[in-house]
Amino acid sequence: MSVRELFQTMTYGTAPEAADAARAWLDAHKRKFDLFINNQWVKAEAHFDSTNPATGEKIASIGDGGKKGVDLAAQAARAAFPAWSALSGHERAKHLYAIARNIQKHARLLAVLESLDNGKPIRESRDLDIPLVARHFYHHAGWAQLQERELADYQPVGVIGQVIPWNFPLLMLAWKIAPAIAMGNTIVIKPAPYTSLTALLFGEIVAEAGLPPGVVNVVTGGDQTGAAVTEHPDFDKIAFTGSTNVGKIIRRATAGTGKKLSLELGGKSPFIVFEDADQDAAIEGLVDAIWFNQGQVCCAGSRLLVQESIAPRFLDKVKLRMSKLRVGDPLDKSIDIGAIVDPVQRRTIDGWVQKGIAEGAEIYQPDCPLPDKGCWYLPTLITNVSSASVVVQEEIFGPVVVALTFRTPKEAVALANNTRYGLAASIWSENLNLSLDVARKVKAGSVWVNSTNLFDAASGFGGYRESGFGREGGREGLHEYLRPKWQARPTPLTTENTEKKAKVQPIPAALNGGKANGHAIDRTAKLFIGGKQARSDGNYTRPVSAPDGHVIGQVADGNRKDIRDAVEAAVKAADGWGYKTGHSRAQILYYIAENLSARADEFAQRISAQTGADDAAAHAEVSAAISRLFTYAAYCDKYGGEIQETPLRGVTMALHEPIGVIGIACPDEAPLLAFVSLFAPAIARGNSVVILPSEKSPLSATDFYQVLETSDVPAGVVNIVTGERATMIKTLAEHDAVDAVWYFADAAGSAFVEKASAENMKRTWVSYGLSRDWQSEEQGAGEDFLFNATQVKNIWIPTGE
């Protein structure tokens, strides 16, 4: 081809990356790998093939660990835990620093091996994945160094089982291992069967760096090995990245076991382009959002939302840009899109596209030449779809973008949030005021303004709703691998279904003449829903007895309908309350405390009547409840987030947002103090609540109605439903409009809540039947409550030219 022809076509020549070093490493192992446990190779009983998706050729045989391999690795990690967790933060920091240096030393080998095994372009693995892997170990070396100063009230969780996906094999490994070992935990990690090679090389790298045996163990294998990790009784926590469906299976499998759990799951992220956006910049952003890593990215900008006024021209530009994309050999530095990881995944992608066509969608694919062999899929644009279309709602996980239009910012937000996911979003506009307003309203864990797919170890990554819970990276990510120092690892004695609990028979309202103790008529406490006292749907009541058995009052016996009404009221209140300023919320909490203080003697008498506590103890509980209200009034405007120190030239804001609607089940002990200690942090941080007070001693909560009514609490922010806990928690835990459930009661109920929460992946915080000292500031208040009342949204805002 002549120089003139080259300038006319602007065709790139090939620029292959040499794979000699990677092949030499494979050959040194005779292209057969076992398990990496205790810093040495342990023979696997079976093996499976790992293939190069760009050619279909076998790369190596990989050990299938199965249950036996997981058992051996768990034993090694448990044996290593005491010594590793006892090391000073400085000593652990030195180990993480050494790992980071070793990763940099082997950076090119890791990048080439990643592209051979996964099919992603070498430019991506070389320029993004591997540098970010090293960055995570450097960053978390710093957190290990500072742990004793900054996180003195916490301890490591213990032995961690981790399962990672095939789309970012080494990067996902670093996201999980670096914070875990920095905080003193030990690890068993299972990479995806498609892409195990860089994890095995990483095992050699950490051993070479001097990490003690057993701290990091790599067990390869298929689905059965993954199940063995998530079900293994000796793990204290499970961390998983993968599909939402598998995440739900893991949530159910770990329910009631006391294992901590973090899940980073699927997404269907919106890419929103307003009419004043820099269109050329937005199109380049779209290339990175959806065709990066062949679209096999959980946070891919797979839903393109374009303002109607610019949509035709913008989509024409998108098609023109698509025609310039190059698909081909991942080791060619001049290509844009590499190979799909496996033929099964390619068929899945095409299956979704065909479903879209069957629904009437229009498909555009550029006329790109494809290699003769290997696994490929053309970049694809789908138009002429409705918001309910299957290709709009379901995660395709391939190089496929679906385009819709909107007219107003309000409609853009509604379309963006019209999904069960909430992982990420990109917003393109030259109007920063508009961008930040939309960023606050979009339900997503990461929001990029005039940018996309920005990641850093200093900024947590994770989702809302069915995109999972927990964060990886940042200070918030450390909490996934820590628990309070006072708290032992929960080991529940029973996980029987809470529905099996014996029922207390309600008393029909018509019986007993409305009398308590046979003396003066005593009112039957109603429910408190939507700011009003309401009769229960079933019109039944429940007796409340003193410790000696005599009836001291009656409360309404709430049912499923009452819970649904309370949730509806909480949903209506959530946005308005969540967007109030912290100062406004604080004034109301102080007012609640003031009104409770004015009735302190009355509340103390009620506590004594229900629990038998002496006058001093009862007054101490009321005093502690008032103090707790002051504590969370103070936190209303002091836990809002921070600026993350990422390498971005601009600002990365970590906002502590309310979760939404929280269902809360209170324990039977400390009927007033526990009640206040649970609802106060929730509403302080902008959530609305449906709260089930102590089943045994609910009158402190029903007396509290009048405090709420006279304290300017907006209707629906606090809803109180009395009755049988087991019946009502079932409805709360299964309700799709409830975003989180806190359950501080029996182990059986805790197990049920965790299992039922899997349906919409709501966050849970349960006690497994273990009591806590509600009078103690260490156990009854503090950051643990605030952490569970918030979710972190990171907003990335580039600045400058």
Catalytic residues, by residue number, are 264, 298
**Of 678, 677, 646, nearest in space to 662 by CA:** 678
**Of 444, 432, 458, 480, nearest in space to 652 by CA:** 458
Burial class for 8, CB neighbours closer than 10 Å (0-12, 13-18, 19+): exposed
Number of other CB atoms surrounding residue 503 within 10 Å: 9
Query: How many angstroms separate the CA atoms of 785 and 480, rounded?
Result: 14
Query: How many angstroms separate the CA atoms of 317 and 433, rounded?
Result: 26
- Which one-letter amino acid corresponds to residue 164? I
* Residues 306-329 as b or e (16 or more Cβ within 10 Å = b): bbeebbeebbebbeebbeebebbb
Structure tokens at 585: 């919320």
- Bridge partners of residue 765, in order along the sequence: 742
**Of 14, 788, 760, nearest in space to 422 by CA:** 760
Angle (CA) 763-764-766 rounded to 5° is 170
Strand order in the sheet with 527-529: 532-534, 527-529, 718-720, 688-692, 661-665, 740-743, 763-766
DSSP code of residue 16 = B
CA distance readout (Å), 62 to 50, 196, 228, 415, 663: 7, 8, 17, 44, 46
Ordered DSSP codes for 17-69:
PP-HHHHHHHHHTTTEE-EEETTEEE--SEEEEEE-TTT--EEEEEEE-HHHH
Query: How many angstroms separate the CA atoms of 29 and 493, rounded?
Result: 46
Query: How many angstroms separate the CA atoms of 96 and 130, rounded?
Result: 15
Strand (E) positions, 157-249?
159-163, 186-190, 216-218, 237-241
Query: How many angstroms separate the CA atoms of 533 and 650, rounded?
Result: 50
DSSP code of residue 713 = P
**Of 562, 580, 623, nearest in space to 717 by CA:** 580
> What stretch of H or E contains 275?
none
- Bridge partners of residue 186, in order along the sequence: 159
**Of 710, 711, 712, 708, nearest in space to 700 by CA:** 708
Pairing of strands 551-556, 524-525: parallel
Query: How many angstroms separate the CA atoms of 566 and 329, rounded?
Result: 57
Residue with tokens 């494809």: 370
- Bridge partners of residue 161, in order along the sequence: 188, 238
Do 60 and 26 contact (CB within 8 A), yes or no? yes
Backbone angles phi, psi at 296, to 5 degrees: -85, 60
> What stretch of H or E contains 88?
none
Residue with tokens 């928690």: 729
The CA-to-CA distance between both ends of the chain, in Å, stands at: 38
**Of 71, 74, 60, nearest in space to 195 by CA:** 60
Structure tokens at 355: 């479903």
